Amino acid sequence: MILGVCEWLEGKIGIEAKILRIIFVVALLLAGTGLGIYLILWIIKLVQGE
């Protein structure tokens, strides 16, 4: 997506960024939670300084 969370998360948990993007989009479409989770992870990424 836009903020680099998927690439950052790929390095942390070892799942391809492409698969993580698909998971976020599906979560956004099904329950609307994908965006919230994405933003929370972005804030964590900013706080850690990576």
Q: What is the pTM of this model?
A: 0.75
Among candidates 11, 10, 9, which has minimal Cα distance to 42? Answer: 9
Assess whether pLDDT exceeds 60 at residue 2: yes
Q: Which residue has the higher pLDDT, 3 or 47?
A: 47
Burial 6-35 (b: 16+ CB within 10 A, else e): bebbbeeeeeebeebbeebeebbeeeeebe
Band of the pLDDT at 47, cuts 50, 70, 90?
very high
Give the separation between CA 39 and CA 45, rounded to whole angstroms.
10
* pLDDT of the residue at 1: 57
Give the separation between CA 47 and CA 2, rounded to whole angstroms.
18
Assess whether pLDDT exceeds 70 at residue 27: yes
